Structure 1
């Protein structure tokens, strides 16, 4: 009996508390849901920003890849240019007067001009060397040459031309540098 009475009193207390509790529980529940919503919004904004950053980076890489896709081919063509220049530099003075060689030499010169035009259209430029200060980003010093007129560190001899593809170095110029 006593147990029943205590049990009934506990039921009444629970009922009274439960009447007040839904408001408190609902308020706590709403606050919790708002907090979760804020966190979800922050995560969504972060994810959207990350996606945008990845998209921009990929676009930049795509542009770079397209701009420099022909780098390997351009490097290979430099040896052709070197060989044409070497052939033209070894032509004796009297060969141009000889009718048999004149057409041949004009053909080699026309080929060299066409290659220069192709290089220009594709953004391939020769690195300035002779008379310039040594720039380790564009020149590779092969020898030091005693020189009375040039300042030490100035390029006085070019052994092999260097080339740039737009703003990237394809091949450094191999040079001789003046020493004191």
Structure 2
């Protein structure tokens, strides 16, 4: 009787090789998980970078808006400095000795000019414009413009000895540097004359 092929015993070689397919499937799964994790990490990194860029943009926009509000009157304030200078020149043109003996009408005029100057400076300050008066301060090239340097027996070297024209700041920016003279220190003492013969001898020997 012929044996049915379906009833044949399994080939030992075939039976041994069949279970070895499982590790291949597991390796493929781990590789897929690693790829997905890498994509997730990449997307997370891109998201964090985008959020950081958006935060930087928000801060920069807020700063630009703040600067626009603070410095919107820059051109107008710079034009007004000429009026402030003229008021100061008018007051400085009257010597102190003349103010004592001046007539009542002229005294009232001087007081009116002083009041106008104070009111103008207060108005500028309300809009963030402050006067720079560096008399006696250390010379700062960021705030001052040196017009000359001269010996000064009272003011130490490197300090502002004279303010030629006041400066102004708007916010943290210089609207106009102060024009100043800088002290070169006390004048050097005169050198006593020396003996031209140089031999230290005296006459009469």
- TM-score, length basis structure 2: 0.66
Residue in structure 1 matched with residue 143 of structure 2 by the alignment: 138
Q: Give the one of 58, 71, 74 matched to 1:68.
A: 71
Gaps of 5+ in 1: 1-11
Matched residue, 1:7 = none
Give the superposition deviation at 1:110.
3.0
Whether 2:37 is the aligned partner of 1:31: answer: no
Alpha-carbon shift at residue 115 of structure 1 (Å): 0.3
Shift of 1:166: 2.9
Q: Distance in 1 between matches of 2:39 and 2:64?
A: 37
Which one has the largest radius of gyration? 2
Cα RMSD of the aligned pairs, angstroms, is 2.8
Query: Could you tell me how far 1:82 is from its partner in structure 2?
Result: 0.3
Superposed structure 1 runs of 4+ greater than 6 Å apart:
none
Matches within 5 A, 1:70-85: 70-85=73-88
- 1:45 aligned to which of 48, 51, 58: 48
Structure 1 residue 173 displacement after superposition: 1.1
Please list every run of 5 or more consecutive structure 2 residues that lacks an aligned counterpart in the other structure: 1-13, 188-205
1:9: which partner in 2? none
Secondary structure of 2:149 counterpart: strand
Contact 1:140-1:172 within 8 A present in 2 as well? yes
Question: In the alignment, is the contact (CA less than 8 A) between 1:143 and 1:177 conserved in 2?
Answer: yes
